[in-house]
């Protein structure tokens, strides 16, 4: 089985296992059940496919899969919009997928101008693997690490003990990050640097490995973040995401606080404690996405 079809098969099994016949709106087929989720024949019935054809999908033996079949499976499995897009990405024929090395990511000038206007709240600009393209001083003060441009925000979040200590709802935030990496791996199945990052993170943390095997997928979405700052105390942020209009792989992550809230009143004090010598924004001139990407 090719790696492409193995990923598709694993995703289908994971979504089938989580959906019971009652949730799918059918009466369970007779016979002993080894798992609470749908059987292959039940899912095939719901999608209007033969059991043999669906079995070939889960065994990675079906080379070409039509859009109509994928849409039928998505409906039968009650997939949300992100999961449906992920299914289509996994099923795309290999020649249609990106096989050339992408251009080096450079921070979008407009996004850099925007981040410079946000010196009153923590903000950072991320590339598609979670590479830090730029960040402001307040972000560093809140999260407790330099997070220099060119470093990996995913490694900070999922490997650095400081992240676990400071982010009090770390499991929620970290699980969402793993789900976005799973989604990115479907979009970029031949990005060897991305796959190497995933393998590294899975190998070094049992929680990451468990979340990865769950096959949950998410796009980058707003997740509230609770911080326990060693000096300022409890901070509460809602996270807003702005996608670059010129490069959809660049996302400005802004930590927002309710006006006049305790967090909002503390941020100016935090900013006065941690001031860069040169500039309020550090940005990398370019981030090489990896010569090992094919």
pLDDT digits (tens, 9 = 90+) for 262-279: 999 999 999 887 654 334
Q: CB-based contacts of 142: which residues, under 8 Å, 6+ apart?
A: 122, 227, 229, 235, 255, 270
Question: Which tokens belong to 221?
Answer: 């979405």
Biggest CA pair distance of the chain: 72
Q: Which contiguous run of DSSP H or E holds residue 114?
A: helix 109-116
pLDDT digits (tens, 9 = 90+) for 4-29: 688 999 999 999 999 999 999 999 89
213/219: higher pLDDT = 213
What's the confidence (pLDDT) of residue 43? 96
Q: What CA–CA distance (Å, rounded) separates 147 from 149?
A: 6
Q: What CA–CA distance (Å, rounded) separates 135 from 116?
A: 9
CA distances from 96 to 30, 87, 189 (A): 41, 15, 11
pTM, full prediction: 0.86
């Amino acid at each position: 089985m090719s790696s492409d079809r193995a990923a598709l098969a694993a995703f289908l099994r994971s979504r089938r296992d989580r959906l019971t016949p009652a949730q799918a709106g059918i009466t369970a087929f007779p016979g002993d059940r080894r798992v609470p989720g749908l059987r292959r024949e039940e899912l095939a019935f719901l999608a209007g496919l033969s059991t043999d054809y669906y079995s070939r999908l889960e065994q990675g033996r079906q080379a070409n899969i039509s859009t109509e079949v994928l849409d039928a499976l998505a409906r039968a499995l009650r997939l949300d919009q992100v999961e449906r897009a992920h299914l289509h990405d996994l099923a795309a024929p290999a020649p249609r997928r990106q096989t050339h090395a992408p251009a080096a990511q450079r921070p979008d000038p407009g996004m850099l101008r925007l981040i410079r206007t946000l010196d009153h709240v923590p903000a950072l600009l991320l590339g598609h693997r979670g590479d830090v393209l730029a960040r402001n001083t307040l972000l560093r003060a809140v999260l407790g690490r330099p997070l220099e441009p060119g470093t990996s925000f995913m490694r900070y979040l999922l490997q650095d003990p400081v992240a676990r200590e400071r982010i009090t709802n770390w499991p929620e935030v970290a699980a969402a990050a793993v789900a976005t990496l799973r989604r990115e791996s479907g979009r970029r199945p031949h990005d060897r640097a991305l796959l190497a990052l995933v393998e590294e993170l899975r190998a070094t943390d049992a929680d990451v490995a468990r979340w990865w095997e769950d096959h949950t997928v998410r796009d980058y979405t707003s997740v509230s973040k609770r911080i326990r700052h060693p000096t300022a105390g409890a901070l509460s942020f809602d996270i807003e995401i702005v996608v670059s209009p010129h490069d959809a792989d660049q996302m400005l992550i802004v930590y927002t606080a309710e006006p006049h809230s305790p967090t909002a009143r503390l941020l100016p004090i935090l900013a006065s404690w941690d001031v860069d010598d040169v500039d309020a924004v550090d940005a990398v001139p370019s981030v090489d996405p990896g010569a090992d990407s094919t």
